[in-house]
Structure 1
Amino acid sequence: MFKIISGLILVCMLSACASADFGSPNTYLRYDVQRIGQFEQATILRVRPITIESNSGSSGIASIVSAAAGAFLGSQVIGNGSGRYVAGALSGSVSGLVAQRVSAAMSRHSVEVFLRRANGETVVVTQVDDQQFVAGQQVFLVSNGTRYRLTH
C-alpha cells in the first residue's frame, strides 16, 4: 500500500509542475480578485516573440530526483529477483524523461510588446501570447500596482 501511495504522490508532484502559469492576461491569481486596479489606453509600437524559460537551474536536479524516485518505486513494485532491477531501470528512465518533458512544457511562447502611453512615455510589457497584438493597435494597459498586463 505504501508503494502505491508513494507512486501517486510522485505523479501528483509532476502534474503540479506542468500546470504552472506565466502571467496570462486571462488568468488571475486569487489575491488579484476583488482589488482595485488601474488601466489606461496605449498604442502598440512593436511586438516581438520571445520565450519565457522555466527555472533551468533546478530542472536538471528535478530530472535526477524523478529518475531516482521512479527507479526505486519501479524496483519495489514490479518484478522479483533480477526482474526488479530491469523494472527499476525502465521506470527510472521513464520518470527522468517525463521530468524533462514537463520542464520543456513549462517554457512558454510569449510576446514582448513595446507601447506608447497616453502621456508619451514608452514602456515594454512581456506576457504569454494567448492574445494577438499588432503594431498600431489600441490596447488597455492594466495594472494592479505591481504587475502590468495587456488586453483588448
Structure 2
Amino acid sequence: MFKALLSLFVISILTGCASADFGSPNTYQRYDVQRIGQMEQATVIRVRPITIESNSDSSGLSSIVSSVAGAFLGSQVIGNGRGRYISGALSGSATGVIAQRVSSMMSHHSGLEVFLLRGNGQTVVVSQVDDQQFVPGEHVYLVNSGSGYRITH
C-alpha cells in the first residue's frame, strides 16, 4: 500500500513538471510539415553558448497539484488522529517546494547563439538549442520556415 501511494506521489510531481519545447532544429512542428520553406547558405562567424529559459508553468499549477497530492498522501500514510493533519500539512508543503524546484530546473536548456554571414553580406544572429554544433568558418544552411529560422549542416 505504501509503495503504491509513494509511486502516485512521485508521478504527480513529475507530470506537473513537463519539459518545455525549445524548438530544436531537428524537430518540426506539425504546421511546418509539407510546406515550402526557404534555404540559403551562410558562413558561421561566431558561436556563443547561451541558456534558453521557458516559462512553461508560470501559473504554479504543478506546484498546487503536487502540494494537494502530497498533503493527501501524507495524511493517509503518516500519523493518526491529529498527527494526520500535521503530517499532511508538512508533506504538502514539502511537495510543493520540491515541485517548484524541479519545474524551475526543467525550464532551462543549453543553447547556442550563432552569428552568420549571409551570401548578400548581411550579418544575422540565430539562437537555437545546442543539439547541433557549429564552428567559425563553417558553411551551413539557414532555413526559414513557418516557425522561424534554424541553422543546420
TM-score w.r.t. length of structure 2: 0.78
Determine if contact 1:141/1:148 at 8 Å carries over to the other structure: yes
Q: Which residues of structure 2 form unaligned runs of 5+? A: none
Determine if contact 2:47/2:134 at 8 Å carries over to the other structure: yes
Matches of residues 67-106 of structure 1 in structure 2 within 5 Å? Answer: 68-75=67-74, 77-79=76-78, 80-84=80-84, 85-106=86-107
> How many Å apart are 1:50 and its aligned residue?
0.6
Determine if contact 1:63/1:97 at 8 Å carries over to the other structure: no
Give the aligned CA root-mean-square deviation in angstroms. 3.0
Alignment partner, residue 18 of structure 1: 18
SS at match of 1:18: coil
The 2-side partners of 1:105 and 1:146 are apart by 23
AA of the residue aligned to 1:40 = E
The 2-side partners of 1:27 and 1:99 are apart by 28
* Closer, same or farther: CA 56–18 of 1 in aligned 2, 3 Å: closer
Determine if contact 1:54/1:106 at 8 Å carries over to the other structure: yes
* Closer, same or farther: CA 69–124 of 1 in aligned 2, 3 Å: same
The 2-side partners of 1:24 and 1:96 are apart by 30
> How many Å apart are 1:76 and its aligned residue?
5.2
Residue 46 of structure 1 pairs with residue 46 of structure 2: yes
Q: Which residues of structure 1 form unaligned runs of 5+? A: none
The 1-side partners of 2:16 and 2:31 are apart by 20
> How many Å apart are 1:32 and its aligned residue?
1.3
TM-score w.r.t. length of structure 1: 0.78
Identity of aligned residues (%): 51
Determine if contact 2:44/2:116 at 8 Å carries over to the other structure: yes
| Count, aligned residues | 146
Q: In proportion to residue count, which structure has more helix?
A: 1
Determine if contact 1:14/1:99 at 8 Å carries over to the other structure: no
Alignment partner, residue 111 of structure 2: 110
